[in-house]
């Protein structure tokens, strides 16, 4: 597996090339999005360069923001969001410090989420809160897998990011059947082109394995559709507005979360 030091020049080169292409397009939306990536990619790379403590710190920070956005989309009460954010962060810490206790920590968090509507006696909305909280724990809890994956996590991040960009450009130009009613703008043609590009990135970074390939080609698009499902239910286009031109953090990591889930399951 290629080291972070070896991956860094590739990531920097990809960022530079994409910047030239985006600048040539003269599309303000793409320029703003590229500026967000120009800040995010060095931060992510530096965290992985630091090693497990840096990756855990990054995953924990991302988890808290993502949980808060998820809670806003699903109308979770503040108490539920706090417990869910603390729980997912606890999973990240456990994955680094006591990995053999990871499932026990997850069980404690699940019980805490179940207890919230019971203790408050919420007969009207308690079942929805319970189901939504557990969904958030399962969905965003896979961020705990980043630190144990190490450099492979960075390679998957790079591959999924490239796959997303290629799918974004290729789908509307090639046309064809829609991928899902949950996301009418996405096409099978774009998804397949994105998957091919993502797999090429894995090969280029010497990170090819069948779990990683399935994660990028299948897990990434599925993760995107999961977030589309949540946003459709909330009746919104983006998970947030704080990332200029790019919506919220969930809009940027949905594919990565889906890919991580596949890597964790397949080992």
Confidence of residue 199 (pLDDT cuts 50, 70, 90): very high
For residues 66-86, one letter each, b for 16 or more C-beta atoms within 10 angstroms of the residue's C-beta and e for the rest, the string is: bbbbbbbbbebbeebbbbbbe
pLDDT of residue 28 exceeding 80, the answer is no
Mean pLDDT is lowest, of 33-42, 84-93, 113-122, 209-218, for 33-42
Q: What total of structural domains would you count in the chain?
A: 2
End of a domain among 96, 123, 149?
Answer: 149
Based on the fold, state whether residues 191 and 251 are members of the same structural domain: yes
Dump pLDDT digits (tens) for 55-105. 999 999 999 999 999 999 999 999 999 999 999 999 999 999 999 999 999
Does 143 share its domain with 245? no
- 139 in the same domain as 67: yes
Q: Does 196 share its domain with 126?
A: no
4-13, 192-201, 238-247: range with lowest mean pLDDT: 238-247
Residue 2 included in any domain:
no
**54 — pLDDT class (breaks 50, 70, 90):** very high
Same-domain pairing of 197 and 241: yes
With a cut of 80, say whether residue 18 has pLDDT above it: no
Same domain, 230 and 156: yes
Is the domain of 163 the same as that of 109?
A: no
Same domain? 144 vs 154: no
Quick check: 259 pLDDT over 90? yes
Average pLDDT over residues 101-129: 93
Three-state DSSP class for 89? helix
User: What's the pLDDT score for residue 262?
Assistant: 94
Which of the listed residues 91, 122, 149 is the one where a domain comes to its end? 149
Q: Would 209 be classed as within a structural domain? A: yes
The pLDDT of residue 70: 94
Q: Is 215 contained in some domain?
A: yes
* Higher pLDDT among residues 26 and 117, named by residue: 117
Does residue 108 belong to any structural domain of this protein? Answer: yes
pTM for the model stands at: 0.87
Distance of alpha carbon 59 from alpha carbon 63, whole angstroms: 6
Q: Does a structural domain hold residue 178?
A: yes
The reply to whether 192 and 141 lie within a common domain is no
Answer yes or no: is 1 within a domain.
no
| pLDDT higher than 60, residue 244 | no
Whether residue 197 is found in the same domain as residue 250:
yes
* pLDDT given at position 242: 60
* Structural domain includes residue 235: yes
Q: Is residue 19 part of a domain?
A: no
Let me know whether 192 and 267 are in one domain.
yes
Partners of 180 in beta bridges? 183
Domain that holds residue 124: 53-149
* pLDDT tens sequence across 156-173: 988 998 898 888 888 888
| CA gap 103, 60 in Å, rounded | 17
Residues 258, 226: contact at Cβ < 8 Å? yes
> How many angstroms separate the Cα of 233 from the Cα of each of 140, 151, 236?
18, 35, 8
């Amino acid at each position: 597996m290629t080291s972070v030091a070896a991956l860094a020049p590739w990531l920097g080169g990809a960022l530079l090339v994409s910047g030239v292409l985006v600048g040539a397009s003269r599309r303000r939306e793409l320029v703003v999005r590229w500026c967000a990536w120009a800040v995010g990619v060095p931060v992510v790379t530096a965290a992985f360069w630091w090693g497990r403590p840096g990756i855990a710190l990054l995953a924990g920070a991302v988890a808290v923001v993502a949980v808060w956005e998820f809670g806003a989309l699903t109308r979770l009460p503040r108490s539920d969001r706090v417990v869910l954010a603390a729980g997912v962060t606890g999973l990240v810490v456990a994955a680094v410090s006591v990995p053999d206790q990871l499932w026990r920590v997850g069980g404690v968090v699940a019980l805490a989420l179940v207890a919230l509507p019971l203790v408050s006696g919420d007969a009207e909305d308690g079942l929805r809160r319970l189901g939504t909280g557990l969904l958030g724990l399962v969905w965003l809890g896979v961020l705990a897998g980043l630190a144990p994956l190490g450099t492979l996590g960075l390679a998957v991040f790079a591959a999924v990011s490239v796959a997303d960009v290629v799918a974004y450009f290729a789908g509307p130009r090639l046309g064809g059947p829609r991928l899902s009613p949950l996301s009418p703008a996405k096409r099978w043609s774009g998804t397949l082109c994105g998957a091919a590009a993502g797999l090429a990135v894995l090969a280029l970074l010497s990170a090819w394995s069948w779990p990683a390939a399935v994660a990028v080609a299948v897990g990434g698009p599925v993760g995107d559709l999961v977030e589309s499902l949540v946003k459709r239910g909330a009746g919104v286009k983006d998970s947030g507005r704080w990332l200029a031109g790019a919506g919220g953090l969930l809009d940027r990591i949905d594919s990565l979360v889906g890919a991580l889930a596949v890597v964790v399951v397949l080992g």
